[in-house]
Amino acid sequence: MKRGSNQIKKVVIYRANFELEEPFRTSLAEISAANNIVIRIHLENGLYGTGEARPNPVVTGETQSSAFAAGKDKLHMLTGKSAYDIEGRMNDLDKVLTKNSALKSAVDIALYDLLGKISDMPLYQVLGGEKRPIWTDNTVSLYSAEEMAQKALIYMEQGFRALKVKLGDSPERDIERIKEIRRAIGHEIPIRIDANQGWSFKDALKVLKTIEGMNIEYCEQPLVHWDLENMRELRYRVAIPIMADETLFSPQDAFRLATMKCCDYFNIKLTQSGGIHKALMINAIGQGAGIPCMAGCMTESRLALGATAHLVSARPNIRFCDLDGHISMKTDPVIGGVKYAGGDMELPDAPGHGADFEPDFLESCEFAIIE
């Protein structure tokens, strides 16, 4: 391993596109490809770290094009500065670029990858944790009840221990979707539902009251992200635990949700928090308030998912994983990284997050060098 200068020499930003096997639908949008951003940060001594995130316009307000343009315009401010000082580098970006959490997450992951390589330690050790068994659910996309039931049965037979089910377009259809899935898979395996802000308060109350006895582990973001008062009211009126998702981007959001007692769980997504640095703060607030967390994802490759898995391994308060974003991709250009087997995830012990992209894949991507 090369040691020496920890100064950032250059940053390379890539537009990385991943085709999906079939369209992925939620109540917010439908996608047929994941149009992601990859960041590679190079040091003077030759080491580099790699990060990735998916800009999601209906959630983070970014597109791949806007994140790429913002990166080309602003990431020069990282060069010549210490890669060790992750808080300093992320504060630098926060001062000149509001929001843009996906771009910042890709930068943050690259910096943590570098820190692991410099330290010659896997990321879970860099974060002060140990390797522990973790597993993810798999997500059933929003289709007809019959199609969703078929997918749920396939995923259960593949060995996934829990299923995440997308809902949020109609109370009647959503209730029928859960009933049909239960007829197909039985009642033992837990179902985690996600409305992606798709319900009104009245609709959410109707659906959740109807399916309370169907082994529903929790419900993610039933209401629009700004409706915290009704989110709290809903939590007190239904038995199914409520998880905050699109309403949770920052430590300040976490503090507000905890203070108002709006939810039972936090969903921490690196693409929403701006990376590991602030995800650690969100988890600490959750832990202090007695709120367990889940680690979620957008549609990212095993590189970004693996970085999140290291965070999960290092923080036992993160009890659930929804790290299945790569499963629907047609290709897997990631070298090394986390391995999947029926939902079980095995972390690598290589320095950093332990993953990289195949050179041919990155060479095929549009990129810009910032020095």
Say if 2 falls within a structural domain: no
Instruction: Assess whether 202 carries a catalytic annotation.
Output: no
pLDDT in tens, 105-140: 999 999 999 999 999 999 999 999 999 999 999 999
Q: What CATH number corresponds to the domain at position 114?
A: 3.30.390.10
What per-residue confidence (pLDDT) applies to 190? Answer: 98
The reply to whether 176 and 292 lie within a common domain is yes
Amino acid letter, residue 280: L
Residue 31 lies in a domain: yes
Query: CATH code at 331?
Result: 3.20.20.120
pLDDT of the residue at 4: 57
Residue 20 pLDDT > 60: yes
Residue 202 belongs to a domain:
yes
Question: Which residue out of 74, 269, 278, 339 is catalytically annotated?
Answer: 269
Residue 3 lies in a domain: no
pLDDT of residue 2: 47
| Residue 335 domain flag | yes
Q: Is residue 180 in a domain? A: yes
Residue whose pair of structure tokens reads 């969903």 in the numeric block: 267
pLDDT in tens, 159-215: 999 999 999 999 999 999 999 999 999 999 999 999 999 999 999 999 999 999 999
- Catalytic position from the list 74, 166, 209, 278: 166
Q: Identify whether the C-beta of residue 51 lies closer than 8 Å to the C-beta of residue 107.
A: yes
Q: Are residues 113 and 163 in the same domain?
A: no
Ranges of beta strands (E only) in 216-295 are 216-220, 242-244, 265-268, 293-295
> What is the longest distance spanned by two Cα atoms in the chain?
62
Percent of the chain exceeding pLDDT 90 equals: 99
Examine the domain organization and report whether 59 and 84 are in the same domain. yes
At 22 the three-state DSSP class reads strand
Q: Same domain for 188 and 331?
A: yes
Same domain, 308 and 289: yes
Indicate if 168 and 93 belong to the same structural domain. Answer: no
**In the prediction, which pLDDT does 1 show?**
43
Q: Give catalytic status of residue 269 as yes or no.
A: yes
Residues 83 and 154 in one domain: no
At 225-262, the pLDDT tens digits run 999 999 999 999 999 999 999 999 999 999 999 999 99
Verify that 12 and 141 share a domain, yes or no: no
Within a domain: 317: yes
**Whole-prediction pTM value?**
0.97
Q: Structural domain of residue 197, as residue ranges? A: 126-356
> Shortest CA distance to 325 belongs to which of 347, 297, 363, 294?
297
pLDDT at 160: 98
- Same structural domain, 90 and 130: no
**Count of structural domains, the chain:** 2
Please tell me whether residues 58 and 26 are part of one structural domain. yes
Same domain, 346 and 362: no
Stretch 276-300: mean pLDDT: 98
Q: Report, as an integer, the average pLDDT of 302-329.
A: 98
Same domain, 258 and 347: yes
Q: 50-106 pLDDT, tens per residue?
A: 999 999 999 999 999 999 999 999 999 999 999 999 999 999 999 999 999 999 999
Q: Is 187 helix (H, G, I), strand (E, B) or coil?
A: coil
